[in-house]
């Protein structure tokens, strides 16, 4: 079985997660969807994705001269903002309540801003300046860490709270 391009390129792997997050936002906004389930899936994905980026990708990218270190550091700050917004939504009792909808929009705003900025700065810089072989190594490391996070129930409210309190 051949490995798809996506699994050989950290940029493609990260972009795939971004598109999944956007789809989960649509589900969380839809009264016809299982919004609580969508939030559970989103929480796990956001935490696993962010932790994998910070643990396996961002540090490596900072070693490339033409990848903007300040943008990488800013990406970490934006993960913290997204995690705080996620925790605020997880702490709302009634899915679909006015408070839930308000906290959801705060989360969408924080995460969408980060995805857009990361795609324009960090990921474009990675495409232009990081060799294919290194991008493949980073994809493998990212996917391994992401899977490890998912298997540890990383999206639980207790874990999200611990991450927010530790940041």
Domain residue extents for the chain: 5-166
- Give the separation between CA 98 and CA 100, rounded to whole angstroms: 5
* Angle of the 98-118 helix axis to the 69-90 helix axis, nearest 10: 170
Q: Which of 94, 132, 114 is nearest to 54 (CA)?
A: 114
Crossing angle, helix 35-52 and helix 69-90, to 10 degrees? 150
The pLDDT, as a whole number, for residue 86 is 98
Query: Which residue in 57, 110, 118, 71 sits closest to 87, CA to CA?
Result: 110
Cα gap 109→165, rounded to integer Å: 21
pLDDT at 62: 83
Helix (H, G, I), strand (E, B) or coil at 115: helix
Q: What's residue 72's pLDDT?
A: 84
Q: Along the 167 residues of the chain, how does pLDDT read in single tens digits?
A: 334 445 689 999 999 999 999 999 999 999 999 999 999 999 999 999 999 999 999 988 888 877 777 888 888 999 999 999 999 999 999 999 999 999 999 999 999 999 999 999 999 989 999 999 999 999 999 999 999 999 999 999 999 999 999 86
Instruction: Report pLDDT for 8.
Output: 84
């Amino acid at each position: 079985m051949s490995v798809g391009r996506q699994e050989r390129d950290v940029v493609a792997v990260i972009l795939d997660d971004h598109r999944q997050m956007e789809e989960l936002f649509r589900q969380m906004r839809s009264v016809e969807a299982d919004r609580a389930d969508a939030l559970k899936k989103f929480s796990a994905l956001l935490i696993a994705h962010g932790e994998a980026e910070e643990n396996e990708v961002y540090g490596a990218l900072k070693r490339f001269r033409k990848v903007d270190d300040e943008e990488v550091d800013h990406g970490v700050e934006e993960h913290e903002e997204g995690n705080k917004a996620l925790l605020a939504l997880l702490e709302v009792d009634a899915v679909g309540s006015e408070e839930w909808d308000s906290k959801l929009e705060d989360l969408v705003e924080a995460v969408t801003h980060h995805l857009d900025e990361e795609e324009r700065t960090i990921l474009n810089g990675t495409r232009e300046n990081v060799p294919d072989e290194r991008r493949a190594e980073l994809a493998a490391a990212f996917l391994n860490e992401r899977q490890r996070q998912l298997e540890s129930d990383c999206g639980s409210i207790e874990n999200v709270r611990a991450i927010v309190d530790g940041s």
